[in-house]
Amino acid sequence: MASSIGLSRFLETETPPVSLALDPLNVDALIAEITSDLNDTSDAPDLDALLTRAKDALAFDLADARLYSLIGEIKYRQGEKDQAYEAFNQALKLSKTEIHALQRSISHAVETGDLSKAVGEIDILLRRWPEQFSAVVKGIPTILSNPDGYQAVLTAIKAEAPWRASLFFSLSNTPEGLDFANRLLLDLTVSPRPPNSSELNRVISGYIRQKKYDAAYRLFLFSLTDDERKLGGYIFNSTFEPVSRGKPFAWQVSDQSGLEITFAASQNAVEGEGGATVRFLNTPVKNTALQQYIALPPGSYKISLIASARNLKSPKELFWSMRCIDPAGEIGRLSIPEGTYNRQELSQDFSVGPAACPLQLLRLQTAAIAESWRFRYVGTLIMHKLSIERLPS
């Protein structure tokens, strides 16, 4: 007998019918078999027979929430919704994390407008089963569009619900979701858990993907601290202070072989060394990994750079490029000379036309098309200040 029970336990997941044949009282195997029958799309299950088997199993284990959840699902499919939800509720009384009962209860709460309950159960579900976020995400916009639902979600993420990051990731992918995400970020500002840089960057980038450039820029400005606001201008942080990097409208520095980029605070730097230092490592360089989105209205402008260099060799042009994002196209270029020099001032005029160009990208780059070892970049470039000023019309 003991060996049959042991073998039944071993087989209950892979082959429930064999497991049940060895031990008819193996509830885990019975649950696995009934679940498999309910999930079988190739053959309609005999719901009455499955219901009888599930109810009979309660005689051996009245406290198994999974059995009540199965009974609830069978009743649900039979169209007996009231009895189904009674069974789901009983399952949740026995185990508040019973996954299927939770999912059905959440859907029912959304349908009936009991959104505070829905959010509470979503929180329970995702704390225990974080991979289930995709199963509930479709109901989130409905919840957020209701004042009670919105407040329930806000309260949960203020309390650092572990699904907070997943929520902002999901909301940032749709126009409707972005508006909710933006509102949540604003309301979180005055909470003990204000928006973090990842949440802000995700929503700002979402606005850019949706071509809502004004909204993206407004959110960026809103996200700045009092000290960061002092670095504002057409180019944010024009002196390359080592603060607030990574946001789309601040300096973005990505990993790039063939060069190193460091920022040094002007007030703490050795004379003449403050700003962004780019060290080229005697290798080909196709991209330089330093860029920033800017939002210039139509007009005429001048871009100016104060730079120093030591033994700088650029086999292909090294330059700052100003490009329209939509429609794509270069609107200006500021070339950086080779050689050794100290605090040289460079400038170039350019214009943003009256046609649609609401967002621009400012990028340091090379004219290299391919990473050929014939074109190796060597030396050091120090950019003390990069600024844009509007010219009189």
Residue 49 lies in a domain: no
Place of tokens 């407040």: 151
All residues at 6 or more sequence positions from 77 whose CB lies less than 8 Å from its CB, including other chains: 38, 47
160 occurs within a structural domain: no
Q: Is residue 36 part of a domain?
A: no
Please check whether residue 132 lies inside any domain of the structure. no
Q: Residue 119: name the closest of 146, 83, 100 by CA.
A: 146
Contact by Cβ (8 Å): 30, 21 = no
Distance CA 268, CA 241 (A): 10
Spatial distance between the Cα atoms of 358 and 80, rounded to a whole number of angstroms:
56
Residues β-bridged to residue 321: 333, 363
169-176 contacts: CB < 8 A, separation 24 or more?
169/202, 170/133, 170/137, 170/140, 171/140, 171/203, 171/206, 172/202, 172/203, 172/205, 172/206, 173/206, 174/141, 175/210, 175/212, 176/141
Q: Is residue 352 part of a domain?
A: yes
Is 279 contained in some domain?
yes
With respect to residue 243, please indicate whether it lies within any of the assigned structural domains: no
What is residue 21's three-state secondary structure?
helix
Specify the number of domains making up the chain: 1
CB 199 within 8 A of CB 165: yes
Structural domain harbouring 370? 252-390
Q: Is residue 242 part of a domain?
A: no
pLDDT in tens, the chain (393 residues): 333 333 233 333 444 443 333 344 456 777 777 777 777 767 777 888 888 887 887 877 788 888 888 888 888 988 899 999 998 999 999 999 999 999 999 999 999 999 999 999 999 999 999 999 998 988 899 999 999 999 999 999 999 899 999 999 999 999 999 999 999 999 999 888 999 989 999 999 999 999 999 999 999 999 898 888 999 999 999 999 987 667 889 999 987 788 899 998 765 544 456 799 999 998 888 777 899 999 999 999 999 999 999 999 999 899 999 999 988 899 999 999 999 999 999 999 999 988 779 999 999 999 887 777 778 899 999 999 999 999 997
253 closest CA partner among 262, 307, 308, 198: 262
The answer to whether 29 and 61 are in contact (CB under 8 A) is no
Q: CATH number of the domain that 320 lies in?
A: 2.60.120.260
